[in-house]
Amino acid sequence: MESFLNLTIKVWHQKGPTEKGRFESYKVEHISTDSSFLEMMDILNEKLIKENKEPIAFDHDCREGICGMCSLYINGRPHGPDDDITTCQLYMRKFKDGETITVEPWRAAAFPVIKDLIVDRTAFDKIIAAGGYISVGTGGVPDGNNIAIPKDIAEQAMDSAACIGCGACVAACKNSSAMLFVSAKVSQLALLPQGKAESKRRAKNMVKKMEELGFGGCTNTRACEVECPKNISVSNIARLNREFLKSEFSE
């Protein structure tokens, strides 16, 4: 049932990419447990605007857990204290009255802060540009039913393809590694017959790009898989390792 909370929000403030940041605490009152976390942030911002202060900047867009834009590290966990969700799907019923909630941006050298809680995730786009596709142009392709793809392979590929590119895996990883993100794309395309042709090249180019951009390596702590809002499995990482080693040893 709906009830109401009074909370202290301790949030990271940073004016610009090169400025020094600090934490600031705010009080919010009478927050419905049925409102989402971001709606609570809206209420806080509305209050700040009324006080003629600048509202807290945070990334968000679809607010239904699919665009991957929201990116808050709440009380020590990416996307906050609930499982299999993005921040926009976090509801205030997960918090207790009187609680202090600490909100931080993703922290990683490869994701520099732009403002307050907003980070720059273009590194992910660069990784995809390095090889996260099947090299096929528009037109001149065979009929969709030309290649039979077994149901379980299609399902597995879909499991991997469900990644929304939010970066929670990087935020959760003690090494700020993007291996889960990279491996999900490599797996999806390596599983499908269409993508097999260039799977070795893809794995190699994407992994190299990932490291060039300042992400760490994987030490198999599996934190990424637990915090991933879309349940992407670390078995993808094993597949990526396999693809990468195959690529290296075949040269």
- Which listed residue (73, 79, 180, 200) binds another protein by CB under 8 A? 73
CA 64/CA 53 separation, integer angstroms: 28
- Per-residue contact flags (x/-) with another protein for residues 159 to 188, judged by CB under 8 A: --xx-xx------x-xxxx----------x
Within positions 97 to 126, which residues make up the interface with another protein, using CB under 8 A? 102, 104, 107-110, 114-115, 118, 120-122, 124-125
Q: Least distance in Å: CB of 26 to another protein?
A: 15
CA 4/CA 119 separation, integer angstroms: 31
- Which listed residue (99, 141, 197, 201) binds another protein by CB under 8 A? 141
Taking CB under 8 A as the rule, does residue 23 contact another protein? yes
Taking CB under 8 A as the rule, does residue 76 contact another protein? yes
Q: Least distance in Å: CB of 57 to another protein?
A: 5
Alpha carbon distances (Å) from 233 to 93, 176, 227, 240, 247: 28, 17, 11, 12, 22
Size of the site for another protein (CB under 8 A): 130
Q: Least distance in Å: CB of 132 to another protein?
A: 6
- Which listed residue (9, 117, 200, 227) binds another protein by CB under 8 A? 227
**Cβ of 245: how many Cβ atoms within 10 Å?**
12
Taking CB under 8 A as the rule, does residue 13 contact another protein? no
Q: How far apart are the first and last CA of the chain?
A: 62
Taking CB under 8 A as the rule, does residue 215 contact another protein? yes
Within positions 35 to 64, which residues make up the interface with another protein, using CB under 8 A? 35-36, 38-40, 42-43, 45-46, 48-50, 52-55, 57, 59-64
Query: Strand, coil or helix: what is 105?
Result: strand
- Which listed residue (5, 44, 186, 218) binds another protein by CB under 8 A? 218
Helix (H) or strand (E) holding 197: none
Q: Least distance in Å: CB of 122 to another protein?
A: 6
Nearest to 85 by CA among 234, 236, 232, 227: 227
H helix and E strand count, the chain: 9, 7
CA 183/CA 27 separation, integer angstroms: 41
**Is the distance from CB of 135 to CB of 199 less than 8 angstroms?**
no
